[in-house]
Chains A and B, each alone.
Chain A
Amino acid sequence: GENVEQHPSTLSVQEGDSAVIKCTYSDSASNYFPWYKQELGKRPQLIIDIRSNVGEKKDQRIAVTLNKTAKHFSLHITETQPEDSAVYFCAASSGGGADGLTFGKGTHLIIQP
């Protein structure tokens, strides 16, 4: 089955700086890579996703890059704000997401004022 590794487990950045979270996956058949944000006591919420036919996708301050050859994808958050503090999970799926997702272990992002 799929295995997703995520680093770092904790990331502390100054407000206004950029944050980068990296993930690798094992199944070359995986074709869908979402990122979820989970605030304490709340449900995971999709913030951005990318499919294997695309190398990069941006949505305002958030971007995701995908390197299929290296089986590696990354989340980039620019101009970080206090409300970005949360746990971020990367995930991968081989069925376009319909077969369920395998999540990475999560990154606790802390934005220092």
Chain B
Amino acid sequence: DTEVTQTPKHLVMGMTNKKSLKCEQHMGHRAMYWYKQKAKKPPELMFVYSYEKLSINESVPSRFSPECPNSSLLNLHLHALQPEDSALYLCASSHGQDTGELFFGEGSRLTVL
């Protein structure tokens, strides 16, 4: 299995809602990432988990809350988002430990009304 699976593929939420994005990989990768991508822009790093511990938080607002329940799963909890948070949220994984290739999921397209 060489896939990173993200659910849901599409999500529409209001500014007062609480929702979660989920990501799963079964490649034995020990590093997992959340990226945000706006239209016609590059992916922007949000969070890095290494061996299930949060190692990098790129000054992301607290309305985004990551969670890594185990080495195969990564969640992004969303609360009180703003319309400008509408974007494609990409999960990725890598072997970690200086092995570079990132494997991206198909993304969750989020619309905040």
Are A43 and B101 interface neighbours, CB within 8 A?
no
Contacts of B110 in A (CB 8 A): none
Contacts of A34 in B (CB 8 A): 100-102
Q: Mark A36-65, 1 if CB is under 8 A from B, else 0.
A: 000000111110010100000000000000
The closest CB in chain A to the CB of B90 belongs to A43
A44/B45 contact (C-beta < 8 A), A95-B98, A100-B56 known: no
Are A100 and B104 interface neighbours, CB within 8 A?
no
Tell me the minimal C-beta distance from B95 to chain A in angstroms. Answer: 8
Contacts of A105 in B (CB 8 A): 41-42
Tell me the minimal C-beta distance from A44 to chain B in angstroms. Answer: 5
Contacts of A44 in B (CB 8 A): 43, 90, 102, 104
Contacts of B98 in A (CB 8 A): 95-98
Q: How many angstroms from the CA of A43 to the CA of B104 in the assembled complex?
A: 6
Count of A-B residue pairs with CB < 8 Å: 63
The number of chain A residues with a CB under 8 A from chain B is 23
Are B42 and A97 interface neighbours, CB within 8 A?
no
Are A98 and B90 interface neighbours, CB within 8 A?
no
The closest CB in chain A to the CB of B50 belongs to A98
Are B102 and A101 interface neighbours, CB within 8 A?
yes
Q: Mark B30-57, 1 if CB is under 8 A from A, else 0.
A: 0101000000111111001010000110
Q: Mark B76-113, 1 if CB is under 8 A from A, else 0.
A: 00000000000000100011111111101111000000
Tell me the minimal C-beta distance from B31 to chain A in angstroms. Answer: 5
The closest CB in chain B to the CB of A96 belongs to B98
A98/B100 contact (C-beta < 8 A), A44-B43, A44-B90, A89-B42 known: yes
Q: Mark A90-113, 1 if CB is under 8 A from B, else 0.
A: 000101111111111110000000
**B residues neighboring A (CB under 8 Å):** 31, 33, 40-45, 48, 50, 55-56, 90, 94-102, 104-107
Give 7 CB contacts A-B under 8 Å: A32-B100, A44-B43, A98-B97, A98-B100, A102-B45, A103-B44, A104-B42
* Supplied contacts A95-B98, A96-B98, 6 more A-B pairs, CB within 8 Å: A44-B104, A51-B100, A96-B97, A96-B100, A98-B31, A101-B45
